[in-house]
Amino acid sequence: MDGGTVRASLIQLAVSDAEPPAERRARAAALVRAQRGSDLVVLPELWPLGGFAYDLWSDGAEALDGPTSDAMAAAARAAGVWLHAGSIVERDPDGPIYNTSLLFAPDGELVHTYRKIHRFGFDSGEAVVMGAGQEIVTAVTDVGTLGLATCYDLRFPELFRALLDAGAQVLVVPAAWPERRREHWTLLARARAVEEQAYVLACNTAGTHGGVEQAGHSIAVDPSGRVLAEAGAGEEVLTVEFDPAEVAKARAGFPVHRDRLLGIPAPVQR
């Protein structure tokens, strides 16, 4: 960080059925290492196997200390960055599989995990074969307090209001969002930023896997809803700089959260 400014890099990784997971893992680690000089790096949802590659999940599920975690820990340490390594299919030895996000500190330590609460698919896919997370997760870091959410979570504003109340300044959302609903992706990312007066860093996949074309268009949004940067459709690294201190200024300048009357109680003013 330089004078409070955070440099964040969103790695919009292409995910295809043709690339073996081990090769993609090595490629993703190399891309993370290449971001030395950034403060925070973000990868997409379920990139090791593919967000729609349902047939691979059971056999490809891994523990929190499995090969993806090992590779990402080493990459974070080599680059000296906070790394939100997107999510993996987590194998819980005592339960179902989960869609679990991994956050690493610059020394490579796995400091936080988040099991996706809202599972997509209605009566198929993730909604059927994966367990649902139960915990709201924020992470106090030297790049701001991060609020963790994943893909389909974007459609549930009550989660983001809870993250706000837990102190989140930067909402980090890895995804495997399909092209056919791309307009919803950018609309909802901006809406969550405006609602919570927080930064949103939403990192999507590119390419096609499981027969589903991905939207790409990773996006960074400021607390007013202004788009700071947006990627295209293909694989790329989207880099943006922002100051987390602007969150408090935005909330003080337009104190809309004081007027909450319904739903989750407003936090005590200090």
Residue positions annotated with a catalytic role:
45, 116, 151
Which DSSP symbol is given to 2?
B
What does each C-alpha distance from 91 to 71, 172, 222, 262 come to in angstroms?
A: 17, 23, 35, 38
Alpha helices, H only, the chain? 21-33, 54-60, 67-79, 126-129, 157-165, 182-196, 245-253
Which of 265, 203, 209, 190 minimizes the C-alpha distance to 49? 209
Torsion of the alpha carbons at 258, 250, 222 and 75, rounded to the nearest 10? -90
β-pair type (110-115, 97-104): antiparallel
Nearest residue to 102 (alpha-carbon basis) of 89, 115, 84, 80: 84
E strands along the chain, which residues?
Answer: 6-12, 40-42, 82-91, 97-104, 110-115, 138-141, 144-148, 170-174, 199-203, 208-209, 212-213, 219-221, 227-230, 236-242
